[in-house]
Structure 1
Amino acid sequence: MKKDVESTAGVTVVVTAIADDPADPPPPASSEDNLRAWLTVLGSALVYFASFGFTNSFGFFQDYYQTHYLPDQSPSTIAFIGTLQISLMYVVAPVAGALSDAYAGSLWQPFVFQVCVLWLVRTGLSFPQHHFDQHSNVSQGVLFGLVVAFNTQPALAVVGQHFKQRRALAMGLVSGGSSISGSGLPIMLSYLVPKIGFGWALRATALLMGCCYVVAMAISWTKEPPTPTKEPHTPTTEEAPEQPPAKAALAASSLLDFRGYKDPRYLVLAIGNFVATLGVYVPNYYIGSYALLRYPTASVHSYLLPALNGASFFGRVLGGYFADRTGRLNFLWPMTVLSGVLSLSLWLLEQNIGMIMAFALLYGFTSGVFISVTPAAVAQIVPDDKIGARVGAFFTLTAFATLMGSPIAGTLIDESSPDGYRNIILFTVGLLSLLPRRWANGC
């Protein structure tokens, strides 16, 4: 810092120039324009492709199990397998997120990647003799749900650390990885299963997932753990000067960080998300079987779920882009309600298979906005160093909604009637259309 003294007409002026002072650091470059940040987005998207995308593909397994392996089971019983894996993923999310906050990433991810791949290989080996039993149900619902949480939560949290202004767009791109997988995997499995069998099709899926995980680990970059946000009551008079382990111990002791629920904005958003989640996944599980019941000779029913997930990719990416510009909740609320309106106008009142396809595409887009923008909306109201833990705690409540929603809808199906899906459509419409406006205003 330099001071120059000038004298004009008897008036002394002190001019202070803030320049050329080596003590003044240069302005930091934006991490959002950093190649490493965008490579991390790509790596996290690959993680979502290989993990969450598999759960998005459960509609294929719903139809296949119901037709080949569990014809004597009700649709709601089979749907419980898929909802169980998503629910457990959300239940474990607070722990996975807190560990990610504490250790700047995922030291355990290589182990988790191997579990996912080995589960698919092991399940594939059990199918040549058509050995499908309750143990297989539990392994897919429980094991896969638990390990996926330790993939997806750190992948989302690390992207949240790299981005702030364009956080919704970045998270939308990451979430879009699961949409691409949810669109491509059912088509791939539908093609491979008749040719090489269900077991080998699962092993091919394991190979694809393994490649995604290896590339993701190679190109992802984690930031150092941010300085923990201090609570107002934390200052103490005497503290040890420097204790590196204390930082990790602090994070480890806060694995279940539910303090976000003290914030009314966080609480209102969580309740609204719970209500919407009860219905938002219902079309993903049942649109294929609905089309098969209504139009048994039409082959397009196997492409409805891929179409829905493919459109969801554009909803997640474009939704994130526009949410950053219009306000995340300003964009999230109308898109969620529009999902219910589409269920009423195109699904309930459909007259032909073309209307069902139109519903799948439009609903995929609007529900994709809901899925991708919600984590970004939560991240904007929590401290940066607690994104993983508090976004995870937020979705713990969502876990109960995913566990209950689709099985409840399955009990409403009457397969003996062409209109047997009317009740689950009304169930979906009610949950998505009746969200209070305060959900948007309260946050």
Structure 2
Amino acid sequence: MQNYYEQHVFIDLPNAVIQLSFVGTLALSFMRLMGPVAQLMEPWIGHKGVLVIGCLCKAIGMLMAGFATQVYQLYLFQGLLFGCGSSLMYYTSLTLTPQWFTKRKGLALGIVASGSGIGGLVVPFIMTSINSRLGPSWTYRILGFICLAMDLSACILIKQNPTFQSEKKKKKLSDIIQLNVLRDIDYVLWVIGSDIVLLGYFIPFYFLPSYGHYVGLTDAQGAVLVSISSAFNFVGRATTGYCADYLGQLNTNILFTLVGGLSCLLIWTFAYNFGALIGFSIVFGLFCGAYFSLLSPITMLILGKDRFPTGLSLLLIFNIIGVFGPNIASAIETSLLRSVGPAYQPFLSYKLFAGICYLVGVLVFVFLRFRINKNWRTLL
């Protein structure tokens, strides 16, 4: 949709790329910001109530985005409202899933995290087809109804393990956000490394269609690239969880993140045709999403069961920093285009920025790994 709005709707908007990229940034920010709110709501209305409110916020956000004629309206509906609803559903499902597993917990969380890959596989084709026939307004409205149907199904299916029934005690924000976890150096390193990786994670998903248009691909081919990345992201996240049960959680995260970063620097940098971009989409999709499968078990590994809820909430809040990666990369790209001029190769900064973020994040994770246990053969 960003690519479409750039080319057809907000043609005369100054810095349209940067302004439109903030729509997704806001959605991702609120998706991480509302975790503590979900914890505050749960004793009052139960996990089912939190899920239903999240479902309605998502659907209404998409439907109202279909009536937007200004960028700020997309900020409000697709960014704020949809993002808040996503957060309530995401955090609740993330905390309930580990209750059901004692063995193969990594694989279970990997499968749960891989769900977004299925959406990313299907949705681009739906959006491209609807948008070409009915325009962006109806694209958003139809997506709103799809969200409503799918999320209501999730509200019915997601359950709490009866043996983990929590006491219905009203909580204060101070009970949820316990800043003393920030005294744990290992946890701080985990937060820093994850934020650096996330700065690069979203860039290919945001800009592959635009890059495809730059090298001469059609809009449909651009949608195919995102779908391929998402499909292999689904496989990669599930595979990450499986490997974590045998290789260790931190070890697996380091390995997958390293390959994801190298794919940006060594494949995307030299990809100028559809075939090469398909290759990049496959490799990046397989290895880029390890963090999302392992954020929960690694946080528990570092902090333990008692401090885990606080650590997870703070981690998701700090991850807001990472979602500004596309905006930072867009600002760098715009600056280079202006300063270097025709000699500059467009989109090069996106490729390098994404790859370098991944590799710097790997260095932080390796340092963390050896702080916890210097024996590399130990499964961590």
TM-score category (smaller protein): 0.7 to 0.9
On the 8 A contact 2:128/2:220 being kept in 1, the answer is: no
Q: Is the 8 A contact 1:97 1:388 kept in 2?
A: no
Name the residue aligned to 1:323.
Answer: 244
Give the equivalent residue in structure 2 for 1:68.
Answer: 8
Alignment counterpart, residue 59 of structure 2, candidates 94, 114, 117: 117
Residue 422 (str. 1) matches residue 348 (str. 2): yes
Identify the residue that residue 375 of structure 2 maps to in structure 1: none
Per-residue deviation, 1:336: 0.7
User: Which has the larger share of helix?
Assistant: 2
CA distance in 2, matches of 1:177, 1:358: 22
User: Superposition pairs for residues 21-420 of structure 1, below 5 Å?
Assistant: 61-71=1-11, 72-74=13-15, 75-97=17-39, 99-100=41-42, 105-124=47-66, 126=67, 131-224=69-162, 226=164, 248-249=169-170, 253-296=174-217, 299-384=220-305, 387-402=308-323, 404-413=324-333, 419-420=345-346
Contact between 1:104 and 1:225, CA under 8 Å: does it hold in 2?
Answer: no
Aligned to 1:441: 370
Q: Percent identity?
A: 21
1: CA distance between counterparts of 2:119 and 2:304? 31
Residue aligned with 2:175, SS = coil
Tell me the CA shift for residue 98 of structure 1. Answer: 5.9
Normalised by the length of structure 2, the TM-score is 0.86
Tell me the amino acid that sits aligned with residue 411 of structure 1.
A
Distance 2:192 2:248 in 1: 20
Aligned CA distance change for structure 1 residues 100 and 162 (closer, same or farther; 3 Å): farther
Q: CA deviation at 1:299?
A: 4.8
Query: Are the equivalent residues in 2 in contact too, given 1:336–1:432 (CA < 8 A)?
Result: yes
Query: Whose radius of gyration is greater, 1 or 2?
Result: 1
Measured after TM superposition, the shift of residue 385 of structure 1 is 5.5
137 and 252 in structure 1: CA distance in 2 versus 1, 3 angstrom threshold: closer
- TM-score, with normalisation over the residues of structure 1? 0.75
Work out the CA distance in 1 between the residues paired with 2:316 and 2:224. Answer: 30
Indicate if the aligned counterparts of 2:42 and 2:50 stay in contact, CA closer than 8 A: no
Q: Whole-Å Cα distance in 2 between the matches of residues 298 and 250 of structure 1?
A: 49
Query: CA separation of 1:105/1:259 partners in 2, compared to 1, >3 Å: closer, same or farther?
Result: farther
Instruction: Verify the 8 A CA contact 2:257 2:287 in the aligned structure 1.
Output: yes
Distance 1:214 1:331, change over 3 A: same
Aligned length: 361
Q: What is the match of residue 26 of structure 1?
A: none
Distance 2:201 2:71 in 1: 29
* Partner Cα separation in structure 2 for residue 197 and residue 81 of structure 1: 19
Task: Give the SS at the match of 1:146.
Answer: helix
Structure-1 separation of matches of 2:152 and 2:326: 33
> How big is the shift at 1:225?
8.0
User: Higher relative CO (CA 8 A, sep ≥ 6), structure 1 or 2?
Assistant: 1
Structure 1 counterpart of 2:367, one-letter code = R
Instruction: Describe the superposition over 1:80-133 as per-residue Cα deviations: whole angstroms up to 9, x where unpaired.
Output: 111111112212223324655898634332122112212222232x26xxx334
Contact 1:409 1:424 survives alignment (8 Å)? yes
Residues 399 and 64 of structure 1, relative CA distance in 2, 3 Å threshold:
same
Contact 1:100 1:157 in 2 (8 A): no
> CA separation in 2, counterparts of 1:314 and 1:335?
13
Q: Aligned letter for 1:168?
A: G
